[in-house]
Amino acid sequence: MKLSEISIRRPVFAAVISLLLVLLGLISLDRLPVREYPDVEPTVISITTAYNGAGAAIVENKITQLIEDRIAGLEGIEKLRSSSRDERSAITVEFSADRPIDAAANDIRDRIGRVLDDLPDEAEPPEIRKSGADGEAIMYLNLTSDRQSAIELTDYAERVLVDQLAATPGVARVNINGGRRQAVRIWIDRQALAARALTITDIEAALRSENVELPAGRLESIEREFALRTDTGLNRVEDFRRLVIGRGPDGYLVRLGDIADVRLGAENERSVSRSMGLAGVSFGIEQMSRTNTLEVANEVHRTLARIGADLPAGMRLTADVDRAVFIRSSLREVVTALGISLGAVLLVIFLFLGNLRATLLPALTIPVSILASLTFMDFMGYSINVLTLLGMVLAIGLVVDDAIVVLENIFRRIEAGQPPLLAALDGSREIGFAVIATTAVLVSVFVPLSFLPGVLGRLFREFGLTLAAAVLFSALVALTLTPALAARVFRSGSERGALAARIEHFFTALAVGYERLLGSLIRRPWLVVGGTLGLLVLAGLAFRQLPQEFTPSEDRGFLFVGLDAPEGASLEYTSRYLQQAEQILFDEIERHGDIQRFALRIGSVGFSAEVNAVRGWIVLGDWGARQRTAAAIADSLRSQLGALPGVRSFVFVPQGLSVAGFGQPVQVVIGGPDYPTLAGWSERLVEQAAANPGLLSVETNYQERKPQISVAVDRDRAAELGVSLQTVGRTLEAMLGSRIVTTYVDRGREYRVILQARAADRAQPADLENLYVRSSRGGELVPLANLVRLEEAAAAMQLNRFDRMRAVTISASLAPGYTMGEAVGFFQELVARELPATARLSFDGQAREYLRSRGQLWSTFAFAVGIVFLVLAAQFESFRHPLVILTTVPLAVIGAIAGLQLYGFSLNVFSQIAMILLIGIAAKNGVLIVEFANQQRDRGLDRVQAVVRAAAIRLRPVLMTSLCTAFGALPFLLASGAGAETRRPIGVVVFYGTVIAVLLTLFVVPAVYALIAGKHRSPHYLAGVIERLRAQPGG
């Protein structure tokens, strides 16, 4: 081959090429960001709208449906999900993966801008937010104290800590969760208000008119000028207390402090945030795009150390959830696997060649190829992450293959007595086509991974293309540096050592025995093919028994926990059970020590806004220091929390690979005509699902159990008395809910002033009797009880929609040993049996990803096989030879299935990706045998003799390359620590698939070649014929 010949003649040129690749790779290594998974930004837009005082049904009709109808026609929407609850509408729009998120967000803003005039006046403008891969917090910090109150902690956090944390290099945003922001709370005494003949409207009018700051012009003199400011704003609690509201019946001035309790309080009194049993405030730290997650986390920890020294006495700022811990641990495990894989591959090469020099030559291919692939990653804007590192570990066993094939062919010629220089020239020329063919096969397998649709394709694009780049660079090194060095490093065959001589003798005897056995079996090729078909049938039966899921359950070092009290439970009721849950966790820490920290919240934005729900996380100890896995700890806590009598509880292990959030893995969505119908359907499904031992914590998000009082206004009576419905609504909102009427400024920051009745005056329906509204006609007071009628009912906490249909979601966790595939199949069968045809079944969360990936990966498998076939056909100038070579693929699949069955692993994204890789790994052995068989036929042998001779000659390189690949994946098969659950299926599939494939390939490929190869020869045969014709007289 020309490139190899040039490199042998100009070795410095060959060395410079490799040195340049290494230098560029080292530069790129310092530039590449580090993260857990590729920077895949999901095209997800969230729209949140607040409508104070409105019930869930009103929010759905007047907010959610209006916005959904307006945005539904946008291009590329894949999923539209919404929830309407009291005072809040939340809509999530998921676009197709190829839709740019900025363009999608602009379209959303444009459509919502057109609907603003149709929304209620009392509703706040919709808040639109892009949810990206970097939009999820990489760390959660907690500020706690045993001295300061939650209000004081929140105030200190807002004034001091947020800005310092936000200024940390790499931090994009700092979100405060669970805080109690200060506000002036005006707790109205309804009896005092009625006694002075005043109304809520009077209070609102006074607050709005008196709490103003107006310019008053300026004073000018010859020498100086003064700006005048009218200081009429209310900035202290005492200012509000002294505010004049009006005159009472006796003519005296009525001040706000006479009719209300005015004090500094929390803006949201319906939330609790606690960390390790102490009141606290949580911070979510989001990183900038294209930044190194580990570096950002380190910078945040440095900021924490600096801040901690200046905190007031009693305050503590700690990192509770740090996603960098798992990433760092997982990457460390993969890097360790990289070193072990390198050692295993070098050991295999040495045991096959018995020559240290021969071992070191292909070893040079590994750093050159791996570092060169870093340059490719830098050029493509990729990152160092778990998936690209997985690719590099697998690449170690692959990148040496080309160098091994070239080196072994040269080494074999030297052993036969040929001078090293000629051996390098002739050996590289003889094997050059096979190297190019195997490289093309591997690349044509890896590249299709980037064509997987949706998020899955974007996740594995870096994995596949990085592997392809490493293999291409390894081929370049194998055809340049390897023959150049072999020509100068090797000595003549007579100088080999005793170990090399013994190894050579062993492989010579092995090749002779193999050739004799193959020669006898190939006389009965149908026997070999028939036996293989029998193995395929058995593998097919075993394949159907494999459990299926999206990803294996992963121990990520923390757990999600939740408690749900009965609908309508008060904050005090839920707080009691929160404290009981805390005690259980403290006891667990004392007994086992597997738990490091925990934080629990009630009514915090981001989890649940209801006071009957507790949500939180539990941070576990280091993987090596724990005696139990995350799943075992979750099982223990599930049983203990489940024993609490007044609440329902759940504990589950969160998952990675783009499936994030505080949701259980199984989410079944049932769409229907109306909520009463859906309620009946969901009750039937939940009852039967709860009886399935494979499903845990089965629950539905629609329950008509929240106590509600419906206020019906007598419109005729109100009109007759001159009272508007707006006045009635605002009075009810202010007294029974809460109403933001104005703001005030304290130390440079603006805070809200909130109007609400005292807790004692809004405890029961009879409290409406002493509420009054003012008539617009004569100004007299009208008892509100004369205008409204109260009706008690049970209502749903939230109303959900899925793809514009009313829907309920049934969610559950998986019991150990029960897979996602079984859960999905169970619900599909259950819905088909129990519900009418009008019910629409959908899946969400991890179940949705599982269903989407299942068909995508197998279609990609078929696509990769087709691409490989066409590439081989183009290279071999034959459609038969590719068929012979591709018989290795089902052989590898047999081994993969056997390995998965042996270890009890599931069929998931990682094991399926590994099976796709097996196409190239297995096919390259077939290429070596078929290419050499064709060369033997060019020299005059018949096809049976040719393939037997070729298989015997290529026995050692076939075994070497296969075992290098298999032992390169061995660290994954034996993986432990962070992320081991996703690496082990890859290791099992590659190891067993490669080993079984090579053992069967050595007999099956020659047998199939003998059956179907026909008269086809190598692509070089025709070139030889043309040269001979030209050499004839007159040619």
Q: In this model, does residue 614 exceed pLDDT 80?
A: yes
Mean pLDDT, rounded, of the chain:
80
- Give the integer Cα–Cα distance in Å for 321 and 261: 40
Same fold, 507-545+877-1026 and 558-706+798-847: no
Do residues 852 and 659 touch, judged by C-beta distance below 8 A? no
709 vs 964, residue with greater confidence: 964
pTM of the predicted protein model = 0.76
For the ranges 186-190, 734-738, 1022-1026, the maximum mean pLDDT occurs at: 186-190
Of the ranges 189-198, 494-503, 992-1001, which one carries the lowest mean pLDDT score?
494-503
The pLDDT of 994-1014, averaged and rounded, is 83
Q: How many other β-carbons are positioned within 10 Å of the β-carbon of residue 765?
A: 13
**pLDDT tens track for 958-985:** 888 888 888 888 888 887 778 778 888 8
* Alpha helix stretches (DSSP H) within 522-561: 525-545
Q: In this model, does residue 29 exceed pLDDT 60?
A: yes
Q: What is the pLDDT of residue 1024?
A: 60
- Give the integer Cα–Cα distance in Å for 288 and 152: 30
* DSSP string over 376-442: HHHHHT--B-HHHHHHHHHHHHHHHHHHHHHHHHHHHHHHTT--HHHHHHHHHHHHHHHHHHHHHHH
- Give the integer Cα–Cα distance in Å for 179 and 143: 10
Q: In this model, does residue 290 exceed pLDDT 70?
A: no
**Closest listed residue to residue 313, CA positions, set 148, 486, 435:** 148
For the ranges 328-337, 488-497, 652-661, the maximum mean pLDDT occurs at: 328-337
Bridge partners of 1001, per DSSP, are: none
Residue 273, SS3 per DSSP? strand
Of the ranges 238-252, 617-631, 833-847, 1021-1035, which one carries the lowest mean pLDDT score?
1021-1035
Q: What is the pLDDT of residue 1030?
A: 64
Helix (H) or strand (E) holding 197: none
Look at domain 43-131 and name its CATH class: alpha beta
Q: What is the pLDDT of residue 708?
A: 64
User: What is the end-to-end Cα distance of the chain in Å, rounded?
Assistant: 26
At 686, the pLDDT band (50, 70, 90 cuts) reads confident
Look at domain 558-706+798-847 and name its CATH class: alpha beta
At 916, the pLDDT band (50, 70, 90 cuts) reads confident
At 42, the pLDDT band (50, 70, 90 cuts) reads low
Bridge partners of 841, per DSSP, are: 670
**Overall fold of domain 182-266+707-795:** 3.30.2090
Q: What is the pLDDT of residue 1019?
A: 59
Do residues 60 and 88 touch, judged by C-beta distance below 8 A? no
The pLDDT of 413-427, averaged and rounded, is 77
Domain boundaries, the chain: 1-31+354-496, 43-131, 182-266+707-795, 507-545+877-1026, 558-706+798-847
- How are strands ordered across the β-sheet holding 182-188? 260-266, 182-188, 749-757, 739-746
- Give the integer Cα–Cα distance in Å for 383 and 386: 9
Of the ranges 166-175, 199-208, 302-311, 358-367, which one carries the lowest mean pLDDT score?
358-367
Q: In this model, does residue 1033 exceed pLDDT 70?
A: no
Locate 1020 and state its tokens: 């070089």
- Angle ∠(719,722,726) on CA atoms, nearest 5: 80
At 105, the pLDDT band (50, 70, 90 cuts) reads confident
- Give the integer Cα–Cα distance in Å for 44 and 344: 44
409 vs 103, residue with greater confidence: 103
Question: 182-188 and 749-757 as β-strands: parallel, antiparallel, unpaired?
Answer: parallel
The pLDDT of 658-670, averaged and rounded, is 69
Homologous superfamily assigned to 1-31+354-496? Multidrug efflux transporter AcrB transmembrane domain (1.20.1640.10)
The pLDDT of 37-66, averaged and rounded, is 80
Q: How many other β-carbons are positioned within 10 Å of the β-carbon of residue 514?
A: 18
The pLDDT of 926-940, averaged and rounded, is 78
Q: In this model, does residue 766 exceed pLDDT 70?
A: no
Homologous superfamily assigned to 507-545+877-1026? Multidrug efflux transporter AcrB transmembrane domain (1.20.1640.10)
244 vs 760, residue with greater confidence: 244
At 494, the pLDDT band (50, 70, 90 cuts) reads very low
Residue 966, SS3 per DSSP? helix
Q: In this model, does residue 415 exceed pLDDT 50?
A: yes
Of the ranges 222-226, 622-626, 675-679, 740-744, which one carries the lowest mean pLDDT score?
222-226
Q: In this model, does residue 609 exceed pLDDT 60?
A: no
Q: In this model, does residue 605 exceed pLDDT 50?
A: no
**pLDDT tens track for 860-874:** 788 888 888 888 888
Q: What is the pLDDT of residue 41?
A: 61
At 1001, the pLDDT band (50, 70, 90 cuts) reads confident
Q: In this model, does residue 1004 exceed pLDDT 50?
A: yes
* DSSP string over 317-348: EEEEEEHHHHHHHHHHHHHHHHHHHHHHHHHH
**pLDDT tens track for 798-824:** 788 888 888 888 888 888 778 788 888
The pLDDT of 79-96, averaged and rounded, is 84
**pLDDT tens track for 877-908:** 778 888 888 888 888 889 889 888 888 888 88
Q: In this model, does residue 606 exceed pLDDT 70?
A: no
Q: In this model, does residue 497 exceed pLDDT 70?
A: no
**pLDDT tens track for 433-461:** 777 877 887 888 877 777 776 667 777 78
Question: 253-255 and 88-95 as β-strands: parallel, antiparallel, unpaired?
Answer: unpaired
For the ranges 135-144, 421-430, 614-623, the maximum mean pLDDT occurs at: 614-623
The tokens 């920051």 sit on which residue? 749
The tokens 């081989």 sit on which residue? 872
Longest alpha-carbon distance in the chain? 135
